[in-house]
Structure 1
Amino acid sequence: MNKDKGQVLNLDGGAYDTANGSSDSLQNRQGYPVWLATFVDIYQRLGTDNLQLLLQVYAPNVHFQDPLHVIEGRKQLLEYFDAMYTNLSHCRFTIDDVIYNDQEAAIYWHMNFIHSSLNNGKAIEVQGHTRLRADGDKVSYHRDYLDAGAMLYEHIPVLGRLVKMVKNRAGQ
């Protein structure tokens, strides 16, 4: 099992160490699988204008699941991302931690996004993690774990107050 904290991987063969502000070659590191380096790099660059990059990441038969959706197939997943990103004026993923072992990985991240209908159009930050499995050089299983309340429900008028109240009472 391999673990790296505070590092951003790039497809160009280098890694930028966010803790030390230095770069080094992936070959000098612990041998990240290509599929994982590709996933991390693309997700940190992903935006409404380059969703086609996801074709480099996912297998045609990918299974994708998050707290709100279950999606089968790369075509359907790209349609989901297209619909999701179209409604955002900003979305950025930052990878905080990567744990991997051959064809599986756990990625801890935070996402910062702006949706005009949520949080009065102000930025929302959500932490989460993703479990991945690869088949060869493509991701065949992607499951996101995150607080859907923090991402969505808490930022909807009226409903948001109820969700926050329930969370506060549950925490007492």
Structure 2
Amino acid sequence: MSSSSAGASAEAIAHFRSLFQPLTQEGLTALAECYSDDVDFTDPLHHHVGRRAIMAYYRELMTEVSHCHFDFHQQHVLDQRCFLEWTMHYSHPSVRGGRTLSVAGCSHLTWRDQRVCRHRDYYDVGEMLYEQLPLIGWVVRRIKQRL
């Protein structure tokens, strides 16, 4: 396989990670360059296809949260695939009085020509969102305790 069709270099992965420490409106232009035009993005709440769609998602996210940054713990690279284990720290003015909250997760990235062409995030949506809401949070926490 030629280097142009290979996955990502260590530098490309490090650059990608750096743009989430913190994730800011100002960093979105550089982040867009890390994705292929036809990128396929999925997380527990969303699915977007194409760089424009995913960047619109990030722009909307950045207008809603007060702060968002990621601590990366482990990185596993195999051919064109990269797995990043992380903890996301975020604050939203409407959730828990704007307190900083944390949720653990993992990103599965597929790289093509030094750009991410598939990005799939895995995390507990209940921990991130539902458990933080007043009435629903109590119910979700009780269900998890019983399981």
Say yes or no: TM over 0.5.
yes
Alignment partner of 1:69 is 2:55: no
Query: Per the alignment, in what secondary structure is the counterpart of residue 45 of structure 2?
Result: coil
* 2:125 alignment partner AA: A
Quote the residue 2:88 is aligned against: 111
What is the CA–CA distance in structure 2 between the aligned matches of 1:47 and 1:64, rounded to whole Å?
A: 19
1 or 2, which has the higher helix percentage?
A: 2
CA distance in 1, matches of 2:22, 2:136: 32
Q: Which residue of 2 aligns with 1:14?
A: none
**Cα displacement (A) at 1:106:** 0.5
Superposition deviation, residue 121 in structure 1: 1.4
2:5 maps to none
| Structure 1: runs of 5+ lacking an equivalent | 1-30
Moved more, 32-41 or 114-123: 32-41
CA contact (8 A) 1:38 1:56 kept: no
Q: Per-residue displacement from partner, 1:52-101 (whole Å, max 9, x unpaired)?
A: 12122100100000000111011000000111111111111111110102
- For residues 1-27 of structure 1, what are the alpha-carbon distances to aligned partners after superposition, in whole Å with 9 as ceiling and x for unaligned? xxxxxxxxxxxxxxxxxxxxxxxxxxx
What is the CA distance between 1:32 and its match in structure 2?
4.5
Give the corresponding residue for 1:52: 29
**Cα distance, 1:153 vs structure 2:** 0.6
Unpaired runs of 5+ in structure 2?
A: 1-7
Give yes or no for contact 2:22–2:68 (8 Å, CA) kept in 1.
no
CA RMSD of aligned residues (A): 1.5
Identity %: 34
Residue equivalent to 1:15: none
Aligned equivalents of 1:135, 1:32: Cα separation in 2: 11
- State how far apart, in whole Å, the 2-side matches of 1:33 and 1:142 are: 17
Partner in structure 2 of residue 82 of structure 1? 59
Q: Does the 8 A contact of 1:34 with 1:137 survive in 2?
A: no
What are the Cα deviations for residues 106-138 of structure 1, in whole angstroms up to 9, with x where unaligned?
Answer: 000001010011112111100000101001110
Question: Which residue of structure 1 aligns with residue 3 of structure 2?
Answer: none
1:148 and 2:125 correspond = yes
Q: Tell me if the contact between 2:82 and 2:108 (Cα under 8 Å) persists in the aligned partners.
A: yes
For this pair of structures, how many residues does the alignment match?
A: 140
Higher fraction of strand: 1
